[in-house]
Chains A and B, each alone.
Chain A
Amino acid sequence: MARVELQSVTKSFGQITAVKKADVVFEEGSFTTLLGPSGCGKTTILRMIAGLEAPSAGDILIGGRRINDLPIHKRNLGLVFQNYALFPHKTIGQNIAFGLKYRGVPKAEARDKVRQALEIVRLPGVEDRYPTQLSGGQQQRIALARAIVIEPDVLLLDEPLSALDANLREEMRVELKSIQHRIGVTSIFVTHDQSEALAMSDRIVVMSAGEVQQEGAPEEVYNTPATEFVARFLGAANLFDARVTAADDRLVELETAAFGRLTLPRDRAARLGDAGPARLVVRAEKLALSEAAAPPGTVSAAATVAAVDYQGQLARYFLQIGDSQAQAIQMIDGRPYPEGAEVTVSLRPEDCTALPPASPDGESGPTGR
């Protein structure tokens, strides 16, 4: 177990800069997720920590030791791949024992360790089978067993669940997290699936185009996104144009076209100045729809339901609020509002976040899902 530290790590492939000056700390024993869209450099970071790629600049520290020049096989890391990468010509037992051989573990002891590892991943007694004789989910458990049996300093997982089907993926996600918790190994998990990241992580590092956008606990990243990109990438978010009209240390007052004036606590608008344009971020599930007047303590606007996406206990509404469009997700009791219904949308200012508008050169990023 060890703490991993990236110190302004940059990686270029010819013209492409895959990772730009990343400064990240992965705390000892924590489960940290690198989250971001395809091609944002997550795998590249993982491969640099593993020693499969060399950084173009910057340092990587594991347990306080600079390991830039340490070859892979001396780093003592557990690696789990998307496609499992179990050695097809070796039995499950031989696969798991592979790393023990190079650690001078005697045969009998290795057998015990293999058995223990198989118990941890809840697949006892499959030592003599070949990888092709197991299902995808089972193979992924074996890959995990092979990585943890060597008691690695760090466990690196590159989209380990993405090749599994949806049900199995959710089951494995709980299990993976509980195994990690039990053995307490520092884990770095790569995914582009935001719900996976929110469900499993102690900390999330959101990346876009090679740059770290935000780092924090899941609720922190979800509730107080630091950039428009983060707001859009995690969950469904609405962004409204706004303007700061008054501000002090405790409160920030904003003027919006749709909702008029509203006042946010300072920590919800930490990155805003005392004047100028801003963006108001409202999560889709924080927009409340009703036919009655808005409850006290909220700001509201009249809206028209443009479309409804019915999802059982939930409904997603596409709304027209004046000139702007918005999405709202609501629990349904009874029947959903029909298309064309006139409703009142309301929101509590303390549920919103305000950001400075995105700079024109970047951060436009992919839109939320």
Chain B
Amino acid sequence: MTESPLTTGQRVSSIAHDFGVFRALTARGMMRMRRIPALIIPAIMMPMFFVIAFSGSFSALANVEGFPTPRVINWMVPYAILQGASFAGMGAAGGTATDIEGGFFDRLLLAPCRRPILMVGPLGYSALRSLIPTTLVLLLSLALGADLPGGALGLLCLYVAAVGVALLFGTLGLAFVYKFRSLKSLSIVQIFIFGFMFLSIGQVPLALQSGWLQHAARLNPMTNILRLSRQGFLGHVTWHGTWPGLVAIAGLVLGFGAVAYRNLRRIVP
């Protein structure tokens, strides 16, 4: 037997190993995205269009009593950005579904790292890539006349909310993909995104809504996340406007994450 560094037991420590796998999986996602730009382009174009279309179509909302800002675009930007982030966030699930269908996921499952890392790695990719539409849509909106009276803190809230939304739909997507093992199952996640985003204060504040929608939007955790992302565009950042959004993100990510993890562990020991 020849002696090699490996047979003498040389491996990195367990924490360094897990972190290395996390970093490699995130980087692999970004690499795939660079090689197939079509994976990210819709998540950029769609929110850009939403900013233009929503603030153009509904510019007259500013005349309605109770609408919180004279600039309708300020109201619409965070909504469009969170839409973009939600689609960008599905990247984790899309990549994993492709891996499962193509068999590559077996290679990842065979890695002697802790199982949650196999989830967290792609989510890192989701979070990272959600910064792309967020930043581009923000720049476009500023060029179109949006402003950010909440300053740097407002900006931070926007980015935290966008990354949070990417993570939460990323975990939801993983929960479906681990269960159904197909790319197709992601169309169900799109319906979830549609519901979460639509039955909220996306386009119109609670005060202007009526009946059933108002009830639904009040209960929808996305409403709190939208408030978090939007406060810097409407005025100053307050703790009161911040913590409910953070709680909503943490709650949903952990909840969906638990389901996803359970589904992953059903596949393999």
Chains A and B are bound partners: no
B residues engaging A (CB < 8 A)? none
Give chain A's interface residues, CB within 8 Å of chain B. none
